[in-house]
Structures are given as C-alpha cells and as structure tokens.
Amino acid sequence: MPTLDRVGKVKHRRLDQLADLCRQVGDAMQRASVALLDADRAMAEKVISGDAALARARAACEEQLLVTTDLRVVLTAVHAVDTLERMGELALHIARAARRRHPAHVLPDELRAPFADMGQLAITLANTAEQVIRTGDPQLLDFLDDSDDIMDDLHRAVFTAVTRENWPHGVATAVDATVLSQNYERFADHAVSLARRTSAIARGELAA
C-alpha cells in the first residue's frame, strides 16, 4: 500500500501536469491574440498546428490522473482537463478567425483597444489559474473573480459598440466582433472555474 508521503508526491506530479497544460493553453491564447490584433497569419498557424500537440498533452494528462486513488479527486481533475480543452478550443477559434480574414484585419481600429485588453486579461487569467493549480493560494481566487468582472465589462462594451445605430463597419464585422468577444469572456469564465475546482486539491483538501 502506498505511503501518504508517496501519495502526496504523486498528487503533486498530477497537479504539475495540469498546471503545465494550463500554461500551454495560455500560450495558445497569447499567440491567438497576436494573430487577431496584428493580422499575423504565421502566428495563427502556430495555434492551429499546435492544437494536435495540445490534444495529445490533454490525453496524456487525463490518463495519468486516472491512477489517483481518490474518486473525488479524479472527477475534479478530469473536469479540469475538460475545462482546459474548452479553453484551448476558444483560442483556436480566435486563431482561425484571424486566418480566415487574412490579410485583412478582423477588427476595425476602434475595437483594437478593448480586444487588446481582453487578450492581455485572458493571458493573465490563465497564468493565475496555473499558479492556483500549483499552490492552491486562495487569495488568487479573489483576483481571478475581479479580473473576470473586468472581462465581462469589456465584453459588454464591445457589444454596445457594435449594436449602436451609427455602427459603420457592417453586420459581418459586428458578428465577428461579438463572437470573438464571447470567446474571451468564456475563456475567462473557464479559467475561474478551473482555479476554483483545483485549489482545494492543491491545498490538500478534497474538492466540493
């Protein structure tokens, strides 16, 4: 029978795998945001081609998590992997939008600032979620909640801009901007959910 010390070391290795996967997803969102803001097809292609590697990393992480003996920990960790998969898909959607419109920019100039803020905030949220997975620091959860509120405000600002009567950029651009803004908003929601579900495990507690 494994000792408690050995079980603890195994658990932390599993958490490190989750944290590494979170970092990779954050990197994908960073590249996708650059592709979107700069109409950078090469960067978009990196995200798109890298999705297969992310899928392999997710599968390997999930397989390793299944050897953990506590069923509640397993279920929480598997949910975390699923959440990270969704975050990766959102970054992929943004990269594909940038590639589809290349060499044109997807966004008009007036929306560059809020989307730049959303991109930076998404990266910060992913990085902070990674730290929560590694440390379980409950104080970071409050920061994540506050950051998520800011993301919601940015999303609302974009929606207000594209639905005003004198919006000059057409319906297709308005739809693109709305969907992309939703991608960032959902990415933020997933980052907060991920951190909350894994923080208890990282602190040595069972997740609710």
DSSP string, 98-160: HHHHTTS-SS-GGGHHHHHHHHHHHHHHHHHHHHHHHH--THHHHHHHHHHHHHHHHHHHHHH
Quick: pLDDT tens for 76-86: 888 899 999 99
- pTM (two decimals): 0.90
What is the C-alpha separation between 153 and 10, in angstroms, rounded?
A: 40
Dig out the tokens for 18 from the structure.
């989750």
Residue-range domains of the chain with CATH: 2-203 (1.20.58.220)
Identity of the amino acid at 208: A
Q: What share of the chain is helix, strand, coil (3-state, %, to 5)?
A: 85, 0, 15
Quick: pLDDT tens for 107-163: 999 999 999 999 999 999 999 999 999 998 989 999 999 999 999 999 999 999 999
